[in-house]
Amino acid sequence: MLAKADWFGRLLENLFLSALLLGMIGLGVTQIGLRWSGVGSLVWADEAVRLMVLWIAMVAGIAAARENRHIAIDVLSRFLQPRPKLIAAVLVELFTSLVCLALAWYGWLMVQFAIEGGDVLLADLPAWIFQAIIPVAFLLMAYRYFLWFLRRLLELTAKAAA
C-alpha cells in the first residue's frame, strides 16, 4: 500500500510539474505571438510566467528531495572510508532537514506578512496564495530529508550491530 501511495505521489508531482511547464511555455508563446502580430499582449502574463517559474522551482525541489538528488558538493565521500562516509551522510541529511525547516518557517512568516499587508498579484488576487508554495515546499523537503536521515541512521546502526 505504501508503494502505491509513493507511486501516486510521484505521478501527481510529475503531472503538476509538466502542467506548469507546459502552461508557462504556452503563455510565453502566446505573448510572443500577440506581440508579433501587433495585437498587443496579455497584461497579466509576464507576472504569471514569473510565478510559474517560482512554482516550478519549488515543486522540482520537492521532486529532487524525493530522490535525494539535489546539487551537492561531495568532496569528502571520495576520501572517506565507508563508515565515516555514512556518518557524514547522516549528519548532512539532518542538517539539510533542519535548514529546510528554517526556510519553511521564514517562508511562512513571509506569507503572513503578505496576508497582513493585503499584497495582491495578477490584478487583485491575494499574493499569499501564490507565495504559499514556499513554506509548503520547504516543509515537504524537510520531511523528505528527515526520512533520508532516518534511512541512513538505520543503515549506520545496522552496520554497527553487524
Report the distance separating Cα 7 and Cα 15, nearest Å. 12
SS3 69: coil
**Of 45, 44, 43, 54, whose CA–CA distance to 20 is shortest?**
54
- Quote the pLDDT of residue 53: 96
- The list of the chain residues with pLDDT below 70 reads none
Q: For 55-81, give one letter per residue: b (16+ CB within 10 A) or e.
A: bbebbebbbebbebeeeeeeeeeeeee
Q: How far is it, in rounded angstroms, from Cα 104 to Cα 107?
A: 5
CA distance linking residue 131 with residue 112, whole number of Å: 10
SS3 121: strand
Q: What is the pLDDT of residue 5?
A: 84
| Each residue's pLDDT tens digit, 20-38 | 999 999 999 999 999 999 8
State the pLDDT at residue 14.
Answer: 92
pTM reported for the whole predicted model: 0.87
pLDDT in the model for residue 82? 84
